Structures are given as C-alpha cells and as structure tokens.
Chain A
Amino acid sequence: MRRLSSALFLLGLGLLIAAIFQTMEFGSVAPIAGQAINAVAAEQVGAANFVTSVVLAYRGFDTLLELTILFTAATAGGLVLGKPGTGAPRDPDSGFILRAGADLFFPLLLVVGLYIILHGHLTPGGGFQGGVILASAFFIPILARPGTTMDHRWVSMIEGLAGAGFILIGLLAMLGGKEFLTPLLDKGELGALLSAGSLPLLYIAVGLKVGAELAGLLARLSETEAID
C-alpha cells in the first residue's frame, strides 16, 4: 500500500517537473548578470577566472556564510558522533601496497591541493576544490592504517585561524572605509600568479578551512566504528 502511494507520488512529481520543463524553453533564460560580470570583471577584480571573481569578490559574503554552513555541519557531525569508542573493533591493517601507496600519495596530494588553491584565480579550481584534495591527503594515510588517529586540536586550530583570517581580511577593507570583503591590495597584471589583490589570500583561507574541516570530519567518522 505504501509502495503504491509512493509510486503515485513519484508519478505526480514527474508529471509536475515535466510540465515545468515544458514551459521552460531551453536556453531561454537571459544571462543578464553573467554578461555584465563577464564584461567588467577583468577590469574591476583583476582575476582571470571570473567564477572566482563572483565567488570571492561579488558575493564574498555568501561564501563566508557557506563556510559557516560547512563549519556547522562539521561541528554537528562531531557532536552527534561524540568521542571515539575505545573498545570498538578496528579494521585490520591494510597490505604493503596500500600503505606504500598512501605514503607516496601524501606529498603528491599536498602539492596538487596547494597548487589548485594558489591558482584558483587563474585556472578552474580554487579553495574549495583544493581544500578537498588537501583533506584527502591527510585522510588516505588513516584509511591505510586504521589504528592511527588524527590530532583534533591541531585540526580545529587551523580551521579557526583560517576562518578568522577570512573575516579579518573582510574587516581590513572596512578599516579603509570600504564595504565588508571588498578586494584589497594591488590588482596586478591579469593572469599573473600575484594578481587579483586579496583574492588569493581569501582562497588560501578557504582552502585551509575546508581541508581541515573535511579531514577532521572524515577522521571522526572513521574513528567511530559502527557496532554490528
């Protein structure tokens, strides 16, 4: 009975979405804001990657709130999972190949993650993407050696400092009489590594924060073994 009503609900939902799609002709939405940003972003912000200009300059405050949501999720996850159980059975140690592979991957992932964070204003990528790669660099060794734990004090220290750094850069703009999170510093040459003012600094803060948060959350999930 429940299955039938669920199936009927899905049928109705499908018809509803199909009806909405019917009225939305493909490509009918005019990218007014996007065109305007594409026209002036290189001049105004100085970042070669316009998506970065949107994320950090035009709606930097949104990004700060997004970081807050991620922080809330990580904190709530830690709160729900609680302290890792000491008596919980651990997975057996992995084999030689996996352990050696984890050791080899650690520096490689660090370099790739930092590269993606530092070139966020020039190439596709940025703080969020690079931060996830940094988190995996610290998480893969834990997967290879299930017994090891992560020092959560360091993780929360990095996370807190990065978040404070993001807000501090925003507040520095206010000191100069501008609005919160207005890009600061010299714009530099378009396409150079040291360009786009304070945007790379903001992305470094984002990358460190995302990396520390995800690594801490994943480590906590793996430390909390489910009891069968």
Chain B
Amino acid sequence: MDTGLILYTAAFGLILIGSAGIVLSTHLVRTIFGIALLEAGANLLLLLATYREGNSAPIIVDGRIPAAMADPVPQALVLTAIVIGVGILALALSLALRVQRAYGTLDLREIRQRLEQDIADEAGIELSSSSDAPQAVASRQEGQA
C-alpha cells in the first residue's frame, strides 16, 4: 500500500479521534487529551504537505550534501506547534486541577450544572431553563398558584 495514503489516513484519523474526544467525552481530562490528539493530527498533516518519499533530512553530515532534501519549513513550523501544544496542555491541566479543587469533580455535565447555578446565585436570578423542561414548568405553576 502507498505510504502517503497510510500517513494521510493517520493524520485524518488522529484529527477525527481528537475531535471525538473533545465532543463526546464528559470527562475534563479526556477532553484535554482529545485536544492533544487533534494537535498531533494537525502537525502530521502539516509535515505531510511537502512530504516526498526518499528525501533525506535537511542536514549536511560530514560535508556531503544529499541529492534530495526534505523541506525544512514545515519541520520548523511543527517544532513551533509542538512547543505551543505543550504550553496549551500545561495550562489546560492546571485549569482542570483548579476546577477539581473548586467543585470536587471532573465530570463536565456536573461542572456545567454547578457553574450555571453559581452564576445564577451570584447574579441573584433564577436558574434559566427551557420552557419545555418538566421540572421548571411544574415549579412555575406552583409559583402562580
């Protein structure tokens, strides 16, 4: 099978798996790992943009200049992207640690609920919800009665 096709599929798969992790998972740390996977896929795609099979690394060893060298520009860009990815990962994990300390959980649904409750409490308003929500309807009717 064609090497290029395999590498392209790997980049495609990493991007898709990372997105799935971000969208589908309800655990905060898994979401962060999804971001890391997505980054890996994007980096691979960037490297593949000018990939040619058989090209050697753009490095001169012992004064011998290789016939066909790989493009150094995407490699330098990906180096930058990896470092920035580490920064994002570290910041996201410290934020997750902070959330865990504040709410005692990393479940995104629970965090969202408590966050909305906190914001509503702080603003002194009732927690807004859909008019179709059965609990909210019941409580409103009680209030009118």
Contact = CB atoms under 8 A, between A and B. Distances in A.
A136 interface: no
Interface in B21-43: 23-24
Contact of A221 (B59, B87, B94): B94
Interface in B42-95: 48-52, 57-63, 65, 69-76, 79-80, 82-84, 86-88, 90-91, 93-95
Interface residues of B, number: 50
A81 B93 CA distance: 10
A205 interface: no
B61 to A, nearest CB: 7
A146 interface: no
Contact of A53 (B2, B69, B71, B72): B72
B97 A224 contact: yes
Given A38-B69, A48-B59, A77 B16 contact: no
Contacts of A53: 72
A27 B101 CA distance: 48
Contact of A55 (B76, B86, B95, B98): B76
A163 B131 CA distance: 56
Interface of A: 3, 6-7, 9-10, 13-14, 17-18, 21, 26-27, 29-31, 33-35, 37-38, 41-42, 48-51, 53-55, 59, 62-63, 66, 69-70, 72-74, 76-77, 80-81, 122-124, 128, 132, 190-191, 210, 214, 217, 220-221, 224, 226-227
26 contacts: A6-B24, A10-B16, A10-B20, A14-B16, A27-B51, A31-B50, A33-B71, A38-B72, A42-B65, A50-B59, A50-B72, A51-B79, A53-B72, A54-B72, A54-B73, A70-B87, A77-B91, A80-B91, A80-B98, A124-B59, A191-B61, A191-B62, A210-B83, A221-B90, A226-B97, A227-B101
